[in-house]
Amino acid sequence: MIKLKLKTKLLLVFSIMVFLSIATVGLNLITYKSLDSDAVFVNSAGKLRANSYRMAYLSERIIIGGIDQQTESKELLERVAFFDNLIKSLINGDEALGLKKLEQPEMLEKLQAIEGKWSNQYKTAYEMIARDGNKQGLTSIEDSVDSFVAEVDQLVGAYSALSQSKVTNAKVISELMLLITVFFGIFGVIMVRAQVIRPIERLSMEMKGISSGDGDLTTLIKIVRQDELGELILHFNNFLASIREIVIKISKSSYVLSNSMQGISGTSYELSKSTEMIANAVMEVSNGSVEQTEMIGSLNALVEQMNDDVGKVLDKAEKLLQGSASSKASAGEGNQLLELQSRDLTKVVSSLADANTSVKRLEGYSNDIKGILEIINNISSQTNLLALNAAIEAARAGESGRGFAVVAGEIRKLAEGTSQATVQISEIINNITGQTVMVRDNMAQMAESIESQSQSMDVVMSKLNEIVNKAETTYTDAKEIESINLVVKDQFGTIANSASKISEVVTNNSSNTQNVAAAVQEQTASFEEVSANMSALNDLSSDLKLVVGRFKI
């Protein structure tokens, strides 16, 4: 006989139930889907019947010749096309209409017979009526339309009966599957009751008997199953064996513990006394550490103050260095500007000397022009006298000397104009000579002033050179001061860090000594508490021996 695990049994029952449920649902879905297609077929076949009567009515209206004969003819042709497509869809199937291909031979034979009559008789007659108004076609239609519709009704009835048989078969299968499911459900409940619930109840009773007994650890539960419950009993028996070993060890240890408690109690009393002495010594050290902490704090504050002062000095030195550099640069720039100005003054002095020479030459030229003007003036005076004498002689000559008198008059006028021009030129030359003398005197004064200014600029350049040299020295000294201050600041920073670390160490030492003192006091209290606990532990050891004695091992 195959022995199955509880898990396997439960999974088997559950799987069978799930399979039966899925099978039932699947069969129902298949049946419902088939019925849905049957309903579409029946509705479509019903449309064949309705369209047959409608086409017969429209044919009669067309033959009679109604008002809307053209509209009715168009509608008749549309219904003929619709009827033709629908009957073909019923035979071959149409996904758009939800129709499947007809597979029942009996139904297919009837539908093909209807399709044959339609194609051979009715379709042609309706088309002739719609196009030509043929009365002969109407007569054949009216005589046989009822039998044609009856065949369609017979087809619909037969297909409805077939569909109903499918429903009946589906109901029978569903009821059968339900009975099978109920049977397996009852079987599963009985199996779970017999294979799971009752063994668990028996195991619970046996465990309850062991737990409520007199501490007999030698009683084990008998293993009669090879499933999960058998494994559970095996693990429980192993657990009892482990508990039995633990109780044996506790029983042995309780005797050793009882003897050890007495020795530990005496030792803890001596340690308590020693710890109290250590606490007093630590308190004295803690007080000294507090004083050291205060002194280190003062030293640290002083060092920090000196460090701040050195920082301020360093800032001043840096500003001095910047000022020296600026002064040095400004003095250098001023010296360069003075050199440029001195060069320009030298050029101006040279230009003034050249101008003075030119003025002297101009003065000489003016004197020469004055001499020439005197000569011209004398010539014009003599010319005037000659013209006057010529006029007198012409007057004496009478009529023959008149032309010469005119020439003599013109010469006299020219001589007078020349005399006046020489006077004006002489005045201009005198003015030029006076202005030239003034320019020469001013240029001489300017040359003296420029020479004095050049000498002053040489003195200023000398002083500026001294300033530049001193600024260079000041810059170098300020740089050395800054370097020294940086070194001093770094050293004070090191001193401040060292003082801070010393302060931290002293503070930590003070805190540690206080903590040690507190710890020693706590340890003293702990030793006293340990002593009390030892007494309580001794009592517990006695109780433990009594408890362990209750177990049967």
* Position 19 confidence tier, pLDDT thresholds 50, 70, 90: confident
> Which of 12-26, 97-111, 492-506 bottoms out in mean pLDDT, i.e. has the lowest?
492-506
Give mean pLDDT, residues 83-91: 87
Give mean pLDDT, residues 248-273: 66
CA 203/CA 213 separation, integer angstroms: 16
What 3-state DSSP class applies to 99? strand
Is residue 34's pLDDT more than 60? no
* Position 24 confidence tier, pLDDT thresholds 50, 70, 90: confident
Give mean pLDDT, residues 135-153: 75
Q: What is the pLDDT of residues 226-236, one digit of tens each?
A: 777 777 777 87
Q: How far is CA 453 from CA 349, 438, 440, 467, in A?
A: 11, 22, 19, 20
Give mean pLDDT, residues 4-33: 73
* Position 1 confidence tier, pLDDT thresholds 50, 70, 90: very low
Is residue 300's pLDDT more than 80? no
Q: What is the pLDDT of residues 458-493, one digit of tens each?
A: 776 787 677 777 767 877 876 777 677 677 667 767
Is residue 324's pLDDT more than 70? no
Give percent above pLDDT 90 in the chain: 1
* Position 92 confidence tier, pLDDT thresholds 50, 70, 90: confident
Instruction: Report which residue type is found at 316.
Output: K
What are the contacts of 205-209 at 24+ separation with CB within 8 A? 207/236
Q: What is the pLDDT of residues 369-417, one digit of tens each?
A: 778 878 887 887 888 788 778 778 777 777 776 776 777 788 878 878 8
Q: How far is CA 487 from CA 307, 339, 484, 494, 501, in A?
A: 12, 41, 5, 10, 21
Mean pLDDT in the chain?
Answer: 74
CA 509/CA 159 separation, integer angstroms: 108
Q: What is the pLDDT of residues 271-287, one digit of tens each?
A: 566 566 655 655 665 66
Is residue 200's pLDDT more than 50? yes
* Position 438 confidence tier, pLDDT thresholds 50, 70, 90: confident
pTM over 0.85: no
pLDDT score, position 375: 86
CA 182/CA 170 separation, integer angstroms: 18
What are the contacts of 301-307 at 24+ separation with CB within 8 A? 303/492, 303/495, 303/496, 303/499, 304/496, 306/492, 307/489, 307/492, 307/493, 307/495, 307/496
Is residue 344's pLDDT more than 70? yes
Give mean pLDDT, residues 28-32: 65
Q: Which tops the pLDDT comparison, 152 or 477?
A: 152
Q: What is the pLDDT of residues 413-429, one digit of tens each?
A: 887 888 788 888 878 88
What are the contacts of 358-367 at 24+ separation with CB within 8 A? 359/436, 359/439, 359/440, 359/443, 360/440, 362/432, 362/436, 363/433, 363/436, 363/437, 363/440, 366/429, 366/432, 366/433, 366/436, 367/433
Which domains does the chain possess?
A: 6-187 (1.20.120), 246-550 (1.10.287.950)
Q: What angle do CA 180, 185, 189 make, to 5 degrees?
A: 150
